Amino acid sequence: MKFSKFFMAAGVAAAMAVPLAAPSAQAAGTLTVGLTIDPGSWDPIDSFLVPWASAATNIYDGLTSRGPDMKLQPGLATSWEFLDNNNRIRFKLRENVKFHNGEPFNAAAVKFTFDRLLGDEGKKGPQQSNYNSIAKVEVVDDNTVDFFMKQPDPVLLTKLAGYGGVIVPPKYIQEKGDEYFNTHPVGTGPFKFVEYNPKVNLTLEAFPEHWGGAPKLDKVVYRMIAEANTQIAELQAGRIDIATLIPFGLTPTVQQAANLQLVSITGPTVVSLRLNTRDGITKDLKVRKALNMAVDREAIIKAVLLGHAKPIASFQSELSFGYDPSMKPVSFDMAGAKKLLQEAGVQPGAALKIDFRGNDATFREVAQAAAGFFQALGLKPSVQPYEPAVLLNDIIPNGKTGEAWHNAWGGWTFDYDNTAYLMYHSGEKWNPYGNDKKLDELLESQRKIYDVKEREKILQEVARYVADQALEIPLYNQNTILGVNKRVKNFTAPADLRFRFTNVTVE
């Protein structure tokens, strides 16, 4: 499998299209963005949080790149080629690229980045496991590196476009240390670090020497604003230009403001009620199917999410690789659900508990709505809120849930593997009850295949099998929602909130 010629051509074309670095006089002011939380560290190996990527995608570059159109493109690598029966990947690197501190980008920087990520420092963060398919990285020459693979990884090229796979400066980190790097990041991206005040703001300024051309903005300021009402008030007042925290119930507030635009687009986040297949009434397949039929997804989307979502048939967005458009969400059918429940021998008033993240006000309403449907089915439902850390790190992985629990998942790679393997493979943290050999075999087989069509076929089979076994109640794919001041121009909202502001201007 060879991509060299195509991507070499793409790299040359991109280089020809890149303008010379524009003088700062052409820059167009400051853009201010509201983030929900402070990641606490700007080191790529320390975080999986979306707010980290919302800022850091402007600081760092990966070997590959992916924009709002979801298409994979050359980044710091201009081409790549699969060798040795797909066990080695050779990357040709972009020349004459500099880090923000003036340090040269080269093959040694790539090797340092992945040695660090896959070594002891990487063990301290959550990103290492995403790249464990890599055995080692070796320098061929200054502009060429080889990735030697432990096993096939058909999602690797996408993973190299962000988060833990972005390239960091060796000399800077060796001289300053990891702790300093956490709060003073340096990359090769279009904006460079200026100032960081924890839990307050992060300030970046244009890096005119960026290989993709100078940004049109002078600065980007990220403000950490955890309260939705505060973000919206600051947006209305013009003190932030982009708000990333717009609850569904407050979307009309943004829509009605003359100076603002509400952006509501299909995103990666999907929400479901996972079902306990080991204990209680939900260990019976008929009961699980009855519960699926008893929930009116359209009604929940209309009443709670104000239409900013779509019902789903599997635990993935329509943007996901592996999505099967022929699968349809389970239709609301209370009469059919009652019949199935009766066939299963479930007595009226049987208990059903829904565990959920207590800080999620929207899902609290969803859980209450679902409980209402289950009560109409003849059950005795209850809802149990938990602190997110308790639910995610104790209740779910240790198999201590009730009959149903809240599951929300993003999956920035937009590849069903990165959801399905973690959700349904035996022994995974998010799969406390499942031990299905057929499902394990399907999930493992697609990880060994680079052929796109063959792999997609297997992933679609996984989705159908999960639906047949009713392992969960897929609820909805919620929209990515932003509030944007109309003075912001040339901005295309990314579904995964990985902002890249190179071509954005403000009036």
| Other Cβ atoms within 10 Å of 200 Cβ, number | 12
Amino acid at 119: G
DSSP for residue 2: B
Q: What are the DSSP calls for 57-107, one per residue?
A: TTT---SEEE-TT--EEESSEEEEEEETTTTEEEEEEPSS-B-TTSPBPSH
Distances in Å between the Cα of 424 and the Cα atoms of 275, 343, 403, 436, 443 are 12, 27, 17, 8, 8
CA distance 210 to 189: 7
Q: What would you measure as the largest C-alpha separation in the chain, in angstroms?
A: 75
pLDDT tier, 327 (very low <50, low <70, confident <90, very high otherwise): very high
48 vs 357: which has the higher pLDDT: 357
Assess contact for 285 and 466: CB atoms under 8 A: no
Give me the sign of the Cα torsion angle 26, 29, 35, 41. Answer: positive
Q: Name the token pair of 31.
A: 């853009």
CA distance 496 to 57: 11
Assess contact for 301 and 309: CB atoms under 8 A: yes
Mean pLDDT of all residues belonging to the chain: 93
Q: What is the pLDDT of residue 465?
A: 98
CA distance 462 to 323: 10
CA distance 379 to 21: 66
Assess contact for 295 and 329: CB atoms under 8 A: no
Length of the chain, in residues: 507
Q: What is the pLDDT of residue 159?
A: 95
DSSP for residue 21: P
Q: Name the token pair of 232.
A: 């919206």
> How far is C-alpha 248 from the chain's CA centre?
20
Q: Name the token pair of 67.
A: 């924009």
**pTM (predicted TM-score):** 0.87
Q: What is the pLDDT of residue 359?
A: 87
pLDDT of 15 > 70? The answer is: no
Assess contact for 414 and 399: CB atoms under 8 A: no
Q: What is the pLDDT of residue 13?
A: 36
| Other Cβ atoms within 10 Å of 481 Cβ, number | 23
pLDDT of 1 > 70? The answer is: no
Helices 437-446 & 417-424 angle (0-180, nearest 10): 150
Q: What is the pLDDT of residue 28?
A: 65
| Other Cβ atoms within 10 Å of 229 Cβ, number | 12
Task: Name which of 76, 83, 81, 79 is nearest 61 in CA terms.
Answer: 76
Assess contact for 356 and 363: CB atoms under 8 A: yes
| Phi, psi for residue 461 in degrees, rounded to 5 | -65, -40
Q: Name the token pair of 444.
A: 């493992």
> What average pLDDT score do residues 472-497 get?
97
> What average pLDDT score do residues 217-221 get?
98
pLDDT of 4 > 80? The answer is: no
pLDDT of 145 > 60? The answer is: yes
Q: Name the 3-class secondary structure at 370.
A: helix
CA distance 125 to 149: 21
Tens digit of pLDDT for each residue in 407-446?
999 888 999 998 999 999 999 999 999 999 999 999 999 9
| Phi, psi for residue 226 in degrees, rounded to 5 | -85, -20
Tens digit of pLDDT for each residue in 244-295?
999 999 999 999 999 999 999 999 999 999 999 999 999 999 999 999 999 9
Assess contact for 316 and 460: CB atoms under 8 A: no
In percent, how much of the chain has pLDDT > 90?
Answer: 90
HEC letters along 183-243: HCCCCCCCEEEEEEECCCEEEEEECCCCCCCCCCCCEEEEEECCCHHHHHHHHHHCCCCEE
CA distance 314 to 319: 12
Q: Encode 434-467: b = buried (16+ Cβ within 10 Å), e = exposed.
A: bebeebbebbeebbebeeeeebbebbbbbbebbb
- Burial of residue 427 (CB within 10 Å: 0-12, 13-18, 19+) is exposed
DSSP for residue 415: B
Distances in Å between the Cα of 347 and the Cα atoms of 223, 338, 369, 376 are 53, 11, 22, 14
pLDDT tier, 70 (very low <50, low <70, confident <90, very high otherwise): confident
Assess contact for 320 and 414: CB atoms under 8 A: yes
CA distance 500 to 59: 9
